[in-house]
Amino acid sequence: MPMKVKSVNSIAVLGAQWGDEGKGKIVDYLTRRADVVARFQGGNNAGHTVVVGAETFKMHHLPVGILHSGVLCLLGNGMVIDPEVLVNELAGLEERGVDTSCLRISPRAHVILPFHRAVDISEEASKTGMKIGTTGRGIGPAYADKAYRRGLRMGDYVNHERFCSWLEEALPLQNRILREVFGHPGFEKEEILQLHRPLGEKLAPYLADTSLLLMEHLQKGERILFEGAQGALLDIDHGTYPFVTSSNTISGSIFTGLGISPLNTVGEILGVTKAYTTRVGEGPYPTEEKSTLGDRIRERGREYGTTTGRPRRCGWFDAVVARYSARINGFTGWGVTKLDVMGGFKTLPVAGAYRLDGREISDPPVALEDYWRCEPVYQELPGWDEDISAARRMEQLPPEAHSYLQAMEDLTGVKIALVSVGPEREQTILVPGASLATFINNF
């Protein structure tokens, strides 16, 4: 008998660009009223920053919901988990007084081990062209081993005997790759076991059937939040391949990454987009602003990576990307972040289309070779000088900011539900009249 969900009171918060859209802030804002927050893909390549008064939290593995006590936090089967990082992150939060007892980890999630990180870093270093600029966290190699059907799952990792026998089998091949291909010294079995046995013991109590748990909570009509990592253009199938991450980052991934049905489980899908664009790592980026204006965006927006500290590439709002992202994700509304950063520019270019080989196109090209050659077709919108970071209602925004937001809606066909004007929880405006804003209000 298939389990039926009575009413859907859930919302997904997903990145619409190349990551770092401010998902962490928005999830934190929404979690105040959530019962469950679940991550379904990616690993500690994610860096979600949450500012709570004088305190800043940077989450890599844990859902942002963990900051709110009593919220059940799930790490789904679609994730890859680095036990060293996760245990450190838990310890760091516990030291700061955060209760982490509500965490549950899927035994089906895959494990990132030291050789995954070593392969990731060595492979990037060995490339002469086409470096991806990965976070070096071992994400690609861990997902590759999963697809190769030679990975290790959390359920087997926390069982020391099973971990030992898996490692016995897997390590010689990993070492051969490291030594023969990359000239890396490789790893000793005992060294890995010694490091990981206590980590496995620490994590074992957190393991649970997250798919079943989630279904039970959905059936009760509880408020569920799905926390995405990365962004649509980093999706392994739909992004700017090969300059992408190794997981599916779009809404479809929620179902496979958590083991739930697409029927009646995800109620609303909030696309998080900056009022401009940024990208960390390599890859095509038509609206990148390489002049000092781009530096100004970086400084005003403090655009330095949460995970690696790398300066982010910065540029103007790209409606081609946003429209595409809205389509493949099915966004029911936008959460526009960092509108405050757009203050102080005389005009604000917005790309409604690309020009490729003399033709205007309104969707991203599939071939990477074409994407590199796309040029943005800009329309210039008037800027504003006011500092809008204290605005708490739409009426408090200058008319130019209203026109800018209107253009974002018109060019993408998706309504804006929420506008963020600063990193703090309170610096968030719900747009009156937007149906998703009403949902959020009642969430």
Q: How far is the CB of 5 from ligand IMO (least distance, A)?
A: 27
Decide: residue 239, CB within 10 A, 0-12 exposed, 13-18 middle, 19+ buried.
buried
Across the strands, what pairs with 192?
none
Site string for ligand GDP, 321-360 (x = CB under 6 A): ----------------xx-xx-------------------
Q: How many CA atoms lie within 13 A of 276 on its CB side?
A: 31
171: which 2 tokens?
């390590």
Supply the residues annotated as catalytic: 20, 48
Q: Which helix (H) or strand (E) holds 269?
A: strand 268-274
Structure tokens at 34: 């959530």
Question: What x/- string results for residues 73 through 112 when contact with ligand IMO is judged by CB under 6 A?
Answer: ----------------------------------------
Min dist CB 231 to ligand IMO, Å, is 6
Name the CA radius of gyration of the chain, rounded. 22
H/E run at residue 219: helix 210-219
User: Is residue 350 within 8 Å of residue 276, measured between CB atoms?
Assistant: no
Q: How far is the CB of 117 from ligand IMO (least distance, A)?
A: 10
The answer to whether residues 123 and 184 touch, using CB atoms and an 8 Å cutoff, is: no
Footprint on residues 257-286 left by ligand IMO (CB under 6 A): 280-281
76 burial via Cβ count (<10 Å: 0-12, 13-18, 19+): buried
Q: Which of 47, 271, 283, 349 binds Mg ion (CB under 5 A)?
A: 47
Given 12, 20, 329, 427, the residue binding Mg ion (CB under 5 A): 20
Closer residue to ligand GDP in complex, CB, 47/284: 47
Residues 218-257 that bind ligand IMO (CB under 6 A): 229-231, 234, 245-246
Total of chain residues touching ligand GDP, rule CB under 6 A:
21
Among 80, 132, 348, 397, interactor with ligand IMO by CB under 6 A: 132
Which position among 15, 83, 286, 423 is part of the footprint of ligand IMO (CB under 6 A)? 15
Say whether residue 139 binds ligand IMO (CB under 6 A).
yes
Q: Is residue 13 a contact partner of residue 26, using CB atoms and an 8 Å limit? A: yes
389 in the Ramachandran plot: left (φ > 0), alpha (ψ -120 to 50) or beta? Answer: alpha
Is residue 25 within the footprint of ligand GDP (CB under 6 A)?
A: yes
Q: How far is the CB of 51 from ligand IMO (least distance, A)?
A: 15
Q: Which of 154, 272 has the CB closer to ligand GDP?
A: 272
Give the shortest CB-442-to-ligand IMO separation in angstroms. 27
Residues 274-333 that bind Mg ion (CB under 5 A): 306
Nearest to 80 by CA among 55, 99, 108: 108
**DSSP E strand boundaries for 10-118:** 10-15, 36-39, 48-52, 55-59, 72-75, 80-81, 103-105, 110-111
Partner whose footprint covers residue 421, from ligand IMO, Mg ion, ligand GDP, none (CB < 5 to 8 Å by kind): ligand GDP
Question: Closest distance between ligand GDP and the C-beta of residue 21, in Å?
Answer: 5
In one-letter notation, the amino acid at residue 157 is Y
Q: In angstroms, rounded to a whole number, what is the distance separating the alpha carbons of residues 312 and 292?
A: 14
Q: Are 72 and 35 in contact (CB under 8 A)?
A: yes
Per CB under 6 A, residues contacting ligand GDP are 15, 19-25, 47-49, 51, 306, 337-338, 340-341, 420-423
